[in-house]
Amino acid sequence: MISTEKFIQDCLLVRSQSPLVHNITNYVAMNFAANSLLAVGASPLMSFYAGEMEEIVGIASALTVNIGCLDENEMEGMRIAAATADRLHKPWVLDPVGAGASTARTQICKELIGFHPTIIRGNASEIACLAGVCVEKSRGVDSSMASDDVVEAAKALAKASGSIVSMSGATDYITDGERVETLRNGDPIMSKVTVMGCSATAVTGAFAAVDSDPFTAALNAMALWGVAGEKAAAVSAGGTGTFAVKFMDALSTSDAAADALLIRQ
């Protein structure tokens, strides 16, 4: 079970420490991910320029790498950043967007996993693919599988990689290969707004920056994110434009103690 105390502690630490989180993310997500980080209290920096990767990782408290929009230059930045985080023992989060949708995506993910991501955060299709149980061609970047059907694969990926696996879906699953925690907050509208998953990855990076236990960091980040989504959905009447605005409002005005009461496992 999630610890209310640790959840509140992590939320408050992000606001008090305002960790610098370095993000290599896709062009679709950059603005929303940066705003998600500011909303929870962190300080975002978005850059994939190889010429500054080592320096930026060096001053950051955590790194997130999201492979959403591939590009030769960006992939080079990803490799240097991940290698630097690995070498400096800084927490880093891999978001394998669209793994399985193309050979290149699956390939760069496997390569990056070699740099020991602290946490791998993705949807069910992506996690299944990386676990080697991709039974059908992924439908682009949206999941074609339910997270409930991929729990064993998520555990296997965690064991094989040594990373915490954080899989979003109707139910979110966080596992280290042995333990499995679930989170049942959120709302179906979240799958109708782009880059919500990338926002989850960014927030996970902020929590990994302040919590040395990546399992609780991943769990608490997804709890905050899911509760914010649920609160926003309740006041959006199905409009995805309003939902996106209210989601950012919920993140930025979140009260950790009050939110803790809303977590459903």
**Binding interface with a copy of itself (CB under 8 A):** 20, 22, 26-32, 34-35, 38-39, 43-49, 51-52, 55-56, 59-60, 68-73, 98, 101-105, 137, 139-142, 192-195, 237-242, 244-253
CB-wise, 82 or 251, nearer to a copy of itself?
251
Whose structure tokens read 């609160």?
Answer: 231
Separation of alpha carbons 105 and 261, rounded Å? 39
Separation of alpha carbons 145 and 232, rounded Å? 25
Q: How far is the CB of 63 from a copy of itself (least distance, A)?
A: 12
Please list, in sequence order, all residues whose beta carbon lies within 8 angstroms of the beta carbon of residue 98, skipping any fewer than 6 positions away: 67, 68, 105, 126, 138, 140, 141
CB-wise, 54 or 213, nearer to a copy of itself?
54
Q: How far is the CB of 74 from a copy of itself (least distance, A)?
A: 9
Q: How far is the CB of 226 from a copy of itself (least distance, A)?
A: 17
Angle at 166 between CA 90 and CA 220, to 5 degrees: 75
Separation of alpha carbons 37 and 165, rounded Å? 21
Q: How far is the CB of 256 from a copy of itself (least distance, A)?
A: 15
Q: How far is the CB of 67 from a copy of itself (least distance, A)?
A: 10
Intra-chain end-to-end CA distance of the chain, in Å: 7
CB-wise, 18 or 175, nearer to a copy of itself?
18
CB-wise, 155 or 205, nearer to a copy of itself?
205
Residues found in the chain: 265
Separation of alpha carbons 69 and 134, rounded Å? 21
CB-wise, 156 or 224, nearer to a copy of itself?
224
